[in-house]
Structure 1
Amino acid sequence: MSSQVQQVLSRDDTVALRREGGAWLKEKREAAGLSQRELAARVGIEYYTFISQIEAGRGRVPAERYEAYSAALRVSPRDFTMTMLRYNDPIIFRLLEEPKEEVEAKAASISDLEERLRRLEARLGE
């Protein structure tokens, strides 16, 4: 975890996030019908115990393997990456998600303006 995140999150918070991330990974692995050994083989990891460590919250998926994990778990690479960021780098996750919220707010504002325009046009047509 980056030092910036460690400065912001307490050790307990960091551990809790890692455990949640591990639980998510385990849920996806089981939904894909894979054992830890099978997942390790599909993502190119020699020792399946590494998967066990990640699922227990004692490790994290290396970023260079995100695509392999997403393919093995049948999750889109973007969704997998964003989920890993949520649990392992929450500050980066928040920064990447903010623009989405801004876009949604602007879309709502545009919808409001379109509705007002429709009402004005209806009045002018009367």
Structure 2
Amino acid sequence: MYSPIQQAQNKDEAAALRREAGLWLKEKREALGMSQREMAVKVGIEYYTFISQIEAGRGRVPADRYEAYAAALNVPPREFTLTMLSYNEPAIYRLLQMEDKAVSGASVAPVQEKSSLTALERRLAALESLMKG
């Protein structure tokens, strides 16, 4: 169980990571010359103010919008997903990177597969089986 101090530290770290993620998303969007309204339309979000909240670090990109976001920002879906995981779920991201290293034997060599989502699901299943022992 976490102490109140650990919980506060984890909350502060999570908030800082959300702000970093928002900055990364904003920089990508602005580099394409796209407004928040245009981004909202491209990713299927009704209110552009939600884009503003995400970019300010007060929200997260919904996982069901990762593919649309990746396409709108011209980022490969796997790269986008891993980047979002690194900000929003750093523990899971770290575990997946450990799995990549174990599978590839290299320091940082992501597994290239046709379907990035399927690859991610397979690696999560493998990780779960390793954790169960």
TM-score (norm 2): 0.71
AA aligned to 1:68 is A
Gap runs ≥5 in structure 2: 1-5, 110-133
Q: Within 2, Cα distance between the matches of 1:23 and 1:74? A: 16
Q: Within 2, Cα distance between the matches of 1:78 and 1:91? A: 17
Which residue of structure 2 lines up, in the alignment, with residue 27 of structure 1?
Answer: 27
Overall identity of the aligned pairs, in %: 68
AA aligned to 1:97 is Q
CA offsets 1:57-116 (integer angstroms, 9 cap, x no match): 0000000110000000000000000000000011111111112333205x9xxxxxxxxx
Higher relative contact order (CA 8 A, sep 6+): 1
Indicate the SS of the match to 1:82. Answer: helix
1:94 aligns with 2:89: no
Which residue of structure 1 lines up, in the alignment, with residue 36 of structure 2?
Answer: 36
AA aligned to 1:45 is I
Which residue of structure 2 lines up, in the alignment, with residue 18 of structure 1?
Answer: 18
Q: Within 1, Cα distance between the matches of 2:38 and 2:94? A: 32
Q: Within 1, Cα distance between the matches of 2:78 and 2:34? A: 21
Q: Within 1, Cα distance between the matches of 2:10 and 2:96? A: 22
Q: Within 2, Cα distance between the matches of 1:67 and 1:32? A: 17
- Note the 1:1-126 alignment, pairs <5 A: 10-102=10-102, 103-104=105-106
Q: Within 2, Cα distance between the matches of 1:31 and 1:96? A: 29
Number of matched pairs: 101
**Structure 1 consecutive aligned stretches of length 4 or more whose deviation exceeds 6 Å:** none
CA offsets 1:21-79 (integer angstroms, 9 cap, x no match): 00000011111221100000000111000000000000000001100000000000000
Q: Within 2, Cα distance between the matches of 1:25 and 1:17? A: 12
AA aligned to 1:13 is E
Gap runs ≥5 in structure 1: 1-5, 108-126
TM-score (norm 1): 0.74
Q: Within 2, Cα distance between the matches of 1:32 and 1:77? A: 17
